Structure 1
Amino acid sequence: METVRFLMIGVGGMGREHVRRLLQVPEAEIVALADPSAAAIEQVTERFPELKNVAVYTDYREAISQANADAAIIVSPHSMHFEQGMACLDGGLHVLMEKPFVDGSENAERIIAHAEIVNKHLAVAYQRHLMGPYIYIRELIQSGELGKINYICAYQAQSWLKGTTGSWRQNPALSCGGQLNDSGSHLLDVVLWVTGLEPANVSAFIDNRGSQVDIDSAVTVRFREGAIATFNVVGSASISWHEDVSIHGDLGTVLYRNNKIFVAKEGQRELVEVSEELPATSDPNRDFVDLILGRVNEAAAPSSCGLRIARLTEAAWKSAANGGQVIHL
């Protein structure tokens, strides 16, 4: 195989971002678009004129059977991911799934097992695994320069409540959860990925701020290795975006501040901004093409990442529903 033929399932806002990325990959070809919204199809073909002659389907099942694709990218409302993903796998397609993977850990386990049975790749579009600053932090921790990780403070603020008002993202039947399950999913995932730590206990307080879904979440995690983490996911913020991650080891500290990195290694009392060249940044679409073509052995964010975040998120919701009760994973 020299070219990977893609079916796009869902071409709304984030779907168009996946289209943009794929069109920059020489070995990728978009052969079909599946979306029940005529407006979404019109918007994506207007933005990307090269797609005007691509096959269009309102039913993703017809697209799977007729498009002659090798792989699918699923960017539909969250509650649809499992059914669509299983159908794609049964149709012989590799699947790249937008976060937060599928609805719940039980479905995550089921689709992961099914992908193994049909021998198809299944990955999650957690793009932070391919961002230079976070790759640098992961490598720094893996090198042992920070020593044993003791404490993590992760913070994300976004005008999510206001920005998603009236959309499917605040409809629990479609979104399967709120900010913690949406943008917050990236924050949970990247901390687990860069540190390699395994959650043991979770406690959380959550406020829906009048919405049907979670908006502001304060989540505390004790890891099996002994570290403690606090996750602060603020969906009611007035600002468009801010993300901080602070990681403290017994030998050093690293801070991520909106793409800037500050480090204090052993013996240093003051933080120093990292000025060296960071690892190259890529994206999940380029990575998935490389995976299918056999250039890499594993996706940057394999499906197991989606499963562990589903388990952690479910534990946080359960804890908050029970007054902050500690939930054991």
Structure 2
Amino acid sequence: STPHTLHFDQIMNALDRGLHVLSEKPMVCRVEHAHAAIAKARETGKILMVSYQRHLAPQFRFVRNQIKCGELGEVQFISAMQDQRWYEGTRGAWRQQLALSGGGQLNDSGSHLLDIVLWMTGLQVDEVHAYMENFESEVDINSALSVRFSNGGLGNISIVGNSPVGGMWEDITIWGSKAVVYMRNGSITYKTPSEASEPQGLPGATTPDQNFVDAILGRDEVQVPPECGLRVIELTEAAWESARTGVPAKVKAAA
């Protein structure tokens, strides 16, 4: 994939040439660019999609469905964490050069975590209070976000970019008024007041590439529309602002 800050011009140029676009994450690095890209896609009538593969993965689709149909009840609290040896793994590369990356792990791997929390729950963040640590880098490495959602629920989102161990680990726990779902690196435990279980018969899986082709051919709807990229950069920009100013920042709701 190309450096993040190049995505906007590439998206706009491709749409102007009458091409459908599948963009890697993050879609863009500025909220105003997200709005412009969405407007251009509508103007040209072409598909603009973001390659957030978790939208097509069974476990995440299951949780989204449970929330949409009310099985969890009202979402009251979310804890989400991503652990990666990102600082060492990207040292000396463009991902730690602000002019090319647009930001650190929050804007890179962390983009996946922000997106899937927002997509599964369908919630908008109203306000975020963030702390970030860059260490010796130009960009954020560790990020701690405390958020208030539009429904009054609360959440903590932790991005650990200087883990001493390799690979990636993600934990997401969503507490609803009726049930709790625990996601541990892709596995799911679903707990109600009467029982705890590992869900069976999860929805089918596909890939962003396949969905993109199917959408172009009219065989499926776009599963990751550009509005998902907009919501992510809205939260990311607000988190950067909060970390810079030391006070909570409001997150403007996506239109």
Is the shorter-chain TM-score for this pair beyond 0.5, marking a shared fold? yes
Of residues 252, 263, 285, the one that matches 2:209 is 285
**Cα distance between partner residues in 2 of 1:115 and 1:214:** 31
Confirm whether residue 147 of structure 1 aligns to residue 73 of structure 2: yes
Which of 163, 186, 191 is residue 117 of structure 2 equivalent to?
Answer: 191
For residue 118 of structure 1, what is the aligned residue in structure 2? 44
Give yes or no for the alignment of 1:104 onto 2:27. Answer: no
Q: Which runs of 5+ in 2 are unaligned?
A: none
In the other structure, the counterpart of 1:319 is 242
SS across alignment from 2:129: strand
Q: Which amino acid aligns with 2:117?
A: V
In structure 1, how many angstroms separate the alpha carbons of the residues matched to 2:164 and 2:188?
A: 24
Separation in 2, partners of 1:189, 1:317: 16
Equivalent of 2:186, from 259, 273, 293?
Answer: 259
Cα distance between partner residues in 1 of 2:125 and 2:153: 9
Please state how far the C-alpha of 1:86 moved relative to its aligned partner.
0.8
Tell me the distance in 1 between the aligned counterparts of 2:121 and 2:179: 14
Aligned-partner residue type, residue 214 of structure 2: D
Bigger relative CO (Cα 8 Å, ≥ 6 apart): 2
The runs of 5 or more residues in structure 1 that have no matched partner are 1-74
> Shift in Å at residue 281 of structure 1?
1.7
Which residue identity lines up with residue 289 of structure 1 in the other structure? V
What residue number does 1:233 align with?
A: 159
| 2:169 corresponds to 1:242 | yes
Alignment partner, residue 98 of structure 2: 172
Report the equivalent of 2:197. 272
The answer for the alignment partner of 1:310 in structure 2 is 233
Residues of 2 paired with 1:130 and 1:277: CA distance? 15
Q: Could you tell me which amino acid in structure 2 is paired with residue 327 of structure 1?
A: A
Distance apart, 1:271 and its partner CA: 3.3
Residue aligned with 2:100, SS: helix
Distance in 1 (CA, whole Å) between partners of 2:61 and 2:236 is 24
Q: Secondary structure at the match of 1:205?
A: strand
Which of 80, 95, 99 is residue 6 of structure 2 equivalent to? 80
Q: Secondary structure at the match of 1:209?
A: coil
- Rounded to whole Å, the distance in 2 between the matches of 1:273 and 1:149 is 20
Secondary structure of 1:213 counterpart: coil
User: Partners in 2 of 1:110 and 1:260 — Cα distance?
Assistant: 37
Q: Give 1:136 shift.
A: 0.7
Secondary structure of 1:244 counterpart: strand
Structure 1 vs Structure 2 CA RMSD: 1.0
Q: Which amino acid aligns with 1:217?
A: S
Q: Which amino acid aligns with 2:103?
A: G
Distance 1:322 1:100 in 2: 24
> Take 1:273 and 1:162, find their aligned partners in 2: how far apart are those partners?
35
Aligned-residue offset at 1:322:
1.1
How many angstroms apart in 1 are the aligned matches of 2:196 and 2:171? 15
Question: Quick one: distance in 2 between partners of 1:290 and 1:220?
Answer: 38
- Mapped to 2, the partners of 1:300 and 1:291 lie a distance apart of 9
Q: Which has the larger radius of gyration?
A: 1
Q: By how many angstroms is 1:205 displaced?
A: 0.3
Shift of 1:277: 2.5
Aligned to 1:204: 130
| Aligned position for 1:132 | 58
Distance 1:158 1:280 in 2: 28
* SS of residue paired to 2:91: coil
